[in-house]
Structure 1
């Protein structure tokens, strides 16, 4: 029997949903948090953001981030405000993107609270944001960027290394050495044939694997995303409509623009105006341009993307888009319609059957994007019900997450099976489906951990 140690891994989030990535590692008197994400989607999950953090923030010695998306980083400003004063380690790309995402998140949270106060739509007399833009800016002072493959000694026998994950700029898998045990966190795995990012690095031999399972119960469509995108654009443009593409500001917006520029360069879509209406996406695209070694885009492709899209920066410019007619294409955040400028465009154009809304990525349960996918004919936006008569199209092949087949093939290349694989970052059906596939196809031990469960990395069960 393996001797027990003082090391522990606790699942503080992402165990019964895609969001809320938070994993606590304890060893040798040290406490390290892997990811510090927001819960998103269903209100039951979002309410967890308002609960006291499961451990005292001041008791944490360090935070490591897999990548910049808010379900992995978005709670960090609250953690710092409430007492965490240690270093936040991330790749250079992740640190730069967080300098955009976190202040914007704080601003939007403040806007939501102000809106609820004015409309008296909250059950609280004086609704307050989870944190402010100022809190977010303060949290950025804690960042300590590190290179891929640079070992970080965290004390207590814990050493960490960032390993490329694909997915988005800066995204990392995290390999931890905890005493004699190797624990590997996938973060969000990218795809082998992603048009934007390089593939995730293959898995090495580890004792414990904590793997994402966002698409664990499905495979992406094999259709050419450019062919699908081009068909929708030609169809809607011919009837004078507006195409609204909700896209995550980091990663997905760049991919959509890349496909649109290729279609335009080949003359496969008409020369209608294309607007990138997300200041964050505009700035993120510039960050991608500074980190060309991490992705597939060439300078010529960046120039083509910039020549294609008109960059919308101000609120007034954004409002004017809703007053002009089609045909035109608007790419705007957020990708799951949880907030941002895209909501104003859905409110303006969603009721007209000449128009189209193209969904380009995962839609977490409880979001407006998920409601569109299941065929809801109204969306609640800014306190009113907006009828949806526009054509709704999902292009699943644009996803930046590895699907079930791709995750299995990534695991299959490992030189040895982990003692245990824990499946996280998935809704219950997808996590359990991937668990069954891993057991059947690979013969590995795998299970779905419970929320707040604690395990011993030296004797995983």
Structure 2
């Protein structure tokens, strides 16, 4: 009896990762992510899955970023009530990320209704904070390296993928087939995270391709960020840094702390971390010591590297301060959250900076800023952009094309086929060609909604 995979997300885009594995009467989902970016993609979040939620026997999460976990509350709301298997780091982060996601969606819907800029009356959240809280008891933690049975007769093993706390690659074994899901691979030279473990043997590989068509610069984020913040401090401006609350925020805090210790930027430069999610995540580094490069002293220093802003009143009060100062705030592609209020306030002043810290999904405000847009639409109005927009090239937490290929080369034997996923079409196809020509392996880029054998 065959084993096949239906690609329900993460194909032709870096968002919405969902891979449905079927064998006989059983179905298992690897990752359960939200679509972000273009409205055409976001509308997929409202489209019913091709399987009833209560027919999914188990979910495996590679990691907690919302493009891999953010659909879980909706799946549970639709009737899924089985186990969601994840590492302890992923569980801890989901406890932070998912309720926050529901809260932001409620806030955005309420804001749209109050100001009347939604085409829907009333605008509704995809799910609520309570929906997210309700799904959390489904999470069941599994240690790295421990083989378990998510479904009787199906075997799965998590191995470290770097990238963020808890991130894993997944080896799934069913009916004699070995399927390897890379998840999001971290960099072997990441500033704070450990490198990914070597890849195990598998018949079929799903490999991410976020940076499938490029390589990272040799300089690290500390060297790149130093001159930028030095210039900002000198001219007395405000830097707004949209950050991913998980991973990127902590890497930036560590970099800023090191720059101050070296004297490359003024030790008096005020830094604010305005994201309850990022604040809570920062404290987790002390509890997951084995997964990152930071010493216990450095992990503790993260929590003191900025003024931690939790309440909305504290966030609003930042508007009364004068520069120079640095505000790190979620989300990393400026798709929602408090960072929008800071962008609306500071984007119009040429002394200020907007510092982008990683890949910007097409269709997001971050992508508009990165492409030199003269205005950005925030809360129903067009905000002029006169601030200097800087895109860091060294801050990504994803492996680049050469590093992805190096990881694939650690496999003990060649797989039968490789599915290139989690990338825009250009990067995915470029990586496909390199896998075919440099490794000699069969590789394809599957279409959204297609089903392929393993």
1:25-174 aligned at under 5 Å gives the runs 25-155=21-151, 157-174=153-170
1:373 to 2:370 alignment:
yes
- Among 314, 317, 326, the alignment partner of 2:311 is 314
Partner of 1:218: 214
Q: Secondary structure at the match of 2:304?
A: helix
Partner of 2:198: 202
Post-superposition, which runs of at least 4 consecutive aligned residues in structure 1 deviate over 3 A? Answer: none
Q: 1: CA distance between counterparts of 2:379 and 2:121?
A: 19
Q: Secondary structure at the match of 1:222?
A: coil
Instruction: Work out the number of aligned pairs and report it.
Output: 453
Q: 1: CA distance between counterparts of 2:15 and 2:303?
A: 32
Contact 1:116 1:127 in 2 (8 A): yes
Q: Secondary structure at the match of 2:100?
A: helix
1:262-411 aligned at under 5 Å gives the runs 262-270=258-266, 271-411=268-408
- Among 225, 230, 233, the alignment partner of 1:234 is 230
- Among 412, 419, 423, the alignment partner of 2:420 is 423
Q: 2: CA distance between counterparts of 1:225 and 1:231?
A: 11
Contact 1:161 1:175 in 2 (8 A): yes
Contact 1:41 1:367 in 2 (8 A): yes
Q: Secondary structure at the match of 1:159?
A: strand
RMSD: 1.0
Contact 2:157 2:171 in 1 (8 A): yes
Contact 2:282 2:302 in 1 (8 A): no
Partner of 1:189: 185
Structure 2, unmatched stretches of 5+, are none
Q: 1: CA distance between counterparts of 2:346 and 2:404?
A: 37
Q: 2: CA distance between counterparts of 1:147 and 1:154?
A: 14
**How many Å apart are 1:162 and its aligned residue?**
0.8
Q: Secondary structure at the match of 2:59?
A: strand
Q: Please give the per-residue CA displacement for 1:17-50, whole angstroms capped at 9, x wherever unaligned.
A: 1100000111242111101100110011000000
Q: 2: CA distance between counterparts of 1:155 and 1:190?
A: 28
Partner of 1:414: 411
Q: Please give the per-residue CA displacement for 1:4-26, whole angstroms capped at 9, x wherever unaligned.
A: x2322111111111100000111
**How many Å apart are 1:219 and its aligned residue?**
1.0
Q: Please give the per-residue CA displacement for 1:285-342, whole angstroms capped at 9, x wherever unaligned.
A: 1112101011111122123333331111111111111121100111111100001111
Q: 2: CA distance between counterparts of 1:303 and 1:455?
A: 47
Contact 1:50 1:130 in 2 (8 A): yes
Q: Give the structure-1-normalised TM-score.
A: 0.97
Partner of 1:432: 429
Q: Secondary structure at the match of 1:258?
A: helix
**How many Å apart are 1:205 and its aligned residue?**
1.6
